[in-house]
Chains A and B, each alone.
Chain A
Amino acid sequence: MHEMAIALALIEQTETVAREQHARAIAGITVVVGRLSGTDPDALRAVFELAAEDTLAAGARLEVEPADGRELYIKSMDVDVEEAEQGGLKDV
């Protein structure tokens, strides 16, 4: 059961990118998990939520796309960023 280590590595990487993009939150992450990657998708989903606590990925949706080989990579992520300044401040 090394899925926690996988989940933590996943969050560390996506958080770094999200910060570079000045994102306020990570809304979703899509990972590709191959059958020979040694990683169990269900176990990964199970620990992801816990690993994401108190990070930018808290509450993020985790999508796991299956593959046939040793693939284990982050395909993409959805982030929430503030709209550009020229859009004008919108008070509520």
Chain B
Amino acid sequence: MCKDCGCGTALDRAHGHQHGHSHDSHHAPHLHGPHSHVHTHPHRPLERKTIELERKVLADNDAHAEANRRWLTAQGVMALNLISSPGAGKTYLLERTLERLRGEVSCAVITGDQCTDNDARRLVGKGAEVRQIETINSCHLDAARVGELLPEVCGNGVRLLFIENIGNLVCPAAFDLGEQFKVALLSSTEGEDKPVKYPTLFSMAPVVVLTKMDLVPHLDWDLAACRRHVRSIRPDSQIFELSAKTGQGMDQWIQYLKNLVV
């Protein structure tokens, strides 16, 4: 940018004026396009000033999330944000969970994927309102998108809302959706050290569900080490160990969910 008149690229694009300066030597090194010698507006020199902001980058998302949280609380809905890598078994666990809670706790699901409504198709017909969000190019759900769906999924006395986030251990952790808390899922086919590799999510999730426990006998997977890694990131984590397929550990999980809404 030219220090004398401030006529740099950024400014040209910002207000699109045409430069009609005399051909001073100070302008020689850069090109301003056609020189018409006409001033379209009076030119005052620019001064640079620093503005202290101290604002969260995601303040807009956080505001939407806070509005969602207020709305959910007012409606008496407990919302859980389920986050894991792809294939950890979020949808399968939800299928079995909805079946077990049917008739006892009124549930709803908002499920996110980059593409397809496959997950929503798997989850409908189990007594819960289900909505799919296809994010297309985005790697996470955001609070505004979730907020738009809340009134339609959480009618009819819904008490428990599951938000199944995009399969991704990094990005969804940064976006508060207005949930009461995050639940991290980790399957036995993943490394037991995932919590220390992805500490952001595991530090934010007070509940960790270890899934596919039925596969453990076939794997070189160290359950004790996994628990240790979870607690090294967050000592007060509540850990569930289950297999949605065999039903192992499901009773404790279901009872825990029921206790959340009594």
Interface residues of A (CB under 8 A from B): 1-2, 5-6, 9-10, 12-14, 17, 21, 24-27, 31, 36-39, 54-60, 70, 72-83, 85, 87, 89-92
Given A17-B53, A58-B9, A92-B21, output 8 extra A-B contacts at Cβ < 8 Å.
Answer: A1-B139, A2-B170, A2-B174, A17-B51, A31-B57, A79-B49, A87-B45, A92-B43
Q: Which chain B positions have C-beta within 8 A of A27?
A: 10, 48
Known A36-B203, A59-B9: A76·B60 in contact at CB below 8 Å: no
Q: Which chain B positions have C-beta within 8 A of A81?
A: 46-49
Q: Does A25 contact B14, Cβ atoms closer than 8 Å? A: yes
Q: How far is the CB of B63 from chain A (nearest CB, A)?
A: 11
Q: How many A-B residue pairs have CB under 8 A?
A: 140
Q: Does A37 contact B200, Cβ atoms closer than 8 Å? A: yes
Per-position 1/0 for B53-69, Cβ under 8 A of A:
11111111100000000
Q: Which chain B positions have C-beta within 8 A of A79?
A: 48-49, 51
Known A13-B57, A58-B9, A59-B8: A89·B46 in contact at CB below 8 Å: no
Q: How far is the CB of B157 from chain A (nearest CB, A)?
A: 34
Q: How far is the CB of A40 from chain B (nearest CB, A)?
A: 9
By Cβ-Cβ distance, the 3 closest A-B pairs, closest first, are A2-B171, A59-B10, A38-B174
Interface of A is mostly: mixed
Q: Which chain B positions have C-beta within 8 A of A85?
A: 44
Q: Does A80 contact B174, Cβ atoms closer than 8 Å? A: no
Whether B22 sits at the interface, judged by CB under 8 Å, is yes
The CA of A37 and the CA of B204, in the complex, are separated in Å by 11
Question: What residue of chain A has the Cβ atom nearest to residue B15's Cβ?
Answer: A24
The CA of A13 and the CA of B51, in the complex, are separated in Å by 13
Q: Which chain A positions have C-beta within 8 A of B56?
A: 72-74
A5, A12, A57, A60: the one within 8 Å of B140 (CB): A5
A6, A21, A87: the one within 8 Å of B44 (CB): A87
Q: Does B13 contact A54, Cβ atoms closer than 8 Å? A: yes
Q: How far is the CB of A12 from chain B (nearest CB, A)?
A: 7
Interface of B is mostly: mixed
Q: Which chain A positions have C-beta within 8 A of B175?
A: 2
User: What are 11 sample pairs from A and B whose C-beta atoms fall under 8 A apart?
Assistant: A1-B139, A2-B170, A2-B171, A2-B175, A6-B57, A9-B61, A36-B200, A38-B170, A55-B14, A73-B55, A76-B50
The CA of A14 and the CA of B54, in the complex, are separated in Å by 11
Q: Does B10 contact A60, Cβ atoms closer than 8 Å? A: yes
Whether B148 sits at the interface, judged by CB under 8 Å, is no
Q: Which chain B positions have C-beta within 8 A of A78?
A: 48-51
Whether B199 sits at the interface, judged by CB under 8 Å, is yes
Q: How far is the CB of B45 from chain A (nearest CB, A)?
A: 5
Q: How far is the CB of A71 from chain B (nearest CB, A)?
A: 9
Q: Which chain A positions have C-beta within 8 A of B44?
A: 82-83, 85, 87, 89-90
The CA of A76 and the CA of B54, in the complex, are separated in Å by 7
Q: Does A25 contact B170, Cβ atoms closer than 8 Å? A: no
Q: Which chain A positions have C-beta within 8 A of B5?
A: 92
The CA of A10 and the CA of B58, in the complex, are separated in Å by 8
Q: How far is the CB of A14 from chain B (nearest CB, A)?
A: 8
